[in-house]
Amino acid sequence: MAGPSPRVSGQPACDIAELRGLFLFEKLTDAQLTRLCADATVQTFPAGPLCREGDPAEYFYVLLEGEIALSKRSGDRDIEIWRASDPGVYCGAWSAFLLDPDMTYENHATLTRPSRLLVIDATTLGDFLVSEFAMATHLLVGHSHGRFHAHRIVDPHERLLQLGQLTAGLTHELNNPAAAAVRAANSLRSQLAARRRSDRPDEALAELEDRVAELAGKPKDLTSVQKSDLEDALGQWLEDRGVTDAWAHAATFVEAGLDIDSLERIATAPCSRAGRLDTVIRRLAGTAETELLLSEISDATTRISSLVNKVKQYTQLDRAPFDVADVHELLDSTLTMFSHRLGDAVTVVRDYDVGLPELPCNPAELNQVWTNLIDNALDALAGHPSGVLTIRTRRVQDSMRVEVCDNGPGIPADVLTKVFDPFFTTKPFGEGTGLGLDIAARIADRHRGALWAESTPGDTRFTTSLPL
């Protein structure tokens, strides 16, 4: 509900005597009250929503009778922050003195019971404040803008500090069980190998099991088509020799890295003669499956440890605010944060100059720069059938240059000149603040560097230059 309901018929527009009894208006002169009342209305509203956070702020509301509750959106729910029934409390377009045509309601206001309100148009209130209280309005405008700019610069740092504090215990708690699981998997693999040797009087079978276990523990480099073809071949081979569950064993052997030559060697081994091939295949399949499961556990827990370390690097939890850092590590840790958005549709090219020295910097701040630039590049590649995100580093005299490039549609020339302006955004309403690139440019400037953009269709690049 963006505005008030229609005024109740026959209700007076405004009662100056009633307003003078409210703390909000008690210091106004009769002339000021008369002027304010001339353009205000008194309306009675039913219980329910009065105005919604984010909607255009069209009206200023003052409670005369009833009760108002204010809430703010957090995630997918509204959190109540204030409730009052005292006559004179207000809500709505309280920042009307800014005379901002794009002003929006900062809270969601709900009437908890039928209420009578003084309703003032935001433009009318803004003009009234500016003309009647000029100096106070100047001070309020200055305070509001100053507070906003302070929040714009400080809030990202505060959020990063909170993220660091949150991950402090989390990284420690995740690393410990992940490392323990890796150790347990390796220990279990050794114990199983020792048990296989102790349980087998047949040396030929022992050698086959060791060979299958060794193959199963190595990475495979086969495409899905190659795997399918090989599975068909192995399944047919086993079925032709009367092996039970031939196709199930074939799938296991393919994952373990066996081929037709491997099965031929198994078939000709002494332990497979005299009709024992079926038993040997079943035992070897069990060995392969066990090794594959152990490898899967080991790989998964190692990846958990790697991701935890990347998160730790991203938040720079263990570094002083100003330090020296490997920029490639910072870039890689930021890319890890975007892994859920990369998928198969975006190819990431890391064109790094590995000879670059470490950079004196605030690592956490630079991660904000890379986050904003990569986020914008991925937005540009949304829906691109073959998107390419290129991260390039180079040394130019005594500076390091980091380029974040994409092969998206490009930025029009008239837009390119504005991309670093605060509040400028091409995203739909509510999806962007227009502050990401402004903050990134300010961080580069604080590092005595620079950030600029160049774009043609199919080649957009944001270049950050930082002194070494």
Q: What is the pTM of this model?
A: 0.43
Buried b / exposed e across 208-237, counting CB within 10 Å, b at 16+?
Answer: bbebbbebbbeeeeeeeeeeeebbeebbeb
Long-range contacts of 420-428 (CB under 8 A, 24+ apart): 420/451, 420/453, 422/152, 427/379
Number of domains in the chain: 3
Pairing of strands 387-396, 346-351: parallel
Q: Is residue 391 part of a domain?
A: yes
- Do residue 184 and residue 306 come from a single domain? yes
Q: Is residue 7 part of a domain?
A: no
Q: Is residue 5 part of a domain?
A: no
Domain holding 342: CATH number? 3.30.565.10
What's 71-133 look like in SS3?
EEEECCEEEEEEEECCCCCEEECCCHHHCCCCCECCCEEEECCCEEEEEEEHHHHHHHHHHHC
- Do residue 294 and residue 325 come from a single domain? no
- Do residue 256 and residue 121 come from a single domain? no
Q: Is residue 372 part of a domain?
A: yes
- Do residue 307 and residue 332 come from a single domain? no
Q: Is residue 193 part of a domain?
A: yes
Q: Which regions of 343-386 does DSSP assign to beta strands (E)? A: 346-351, 359-361
Q: Is residue 159 part of a domain?
A: no
Tens-binned pLDDT, residue by residue, of the chain (468 aa): 444 444 343 455 788 989 989 998 988 999 999 998 888 999 999 999 999 998 999 999 999 999 999 998 877 778 888 899 999 999 999 888 888 888 899 889 999 999 999 999 999 999 998 888 878 777 776 766 666 655 555 555 555 555 555 565 666 667 777 777 778 877 877 777 777 666 655 778 878 888 888 888 777 777 888 889 999 999 999 999 898 999 999 988 988 888 899 898 888 888 888 788 988 898 888 888 888 888 888 777 777 776 676 666 555 544 556 678 899 988 988 888 787 777 777 889 999 998 999 988 888 788 888 988 998 888 888 878 888 999 999 998 889 999 999 998 888 888 887 777 765 565 544 444 445 787 788 888 888 888 888 888 989 999 999 998
- Do residue 341 and residue 360 come from a single domain? yes
Q: Are 215 and 248 in contact, with CB atoms under 8 Å apart?
A: no
- Do residue 346 and residue 444 come from a single domain? yes
Q: Which domain holds residue 181?
A: 164-313
Domain holding 43: CATH number? 2.60.120.10
- Do residue 277 and residue 354 come from a single domain? no
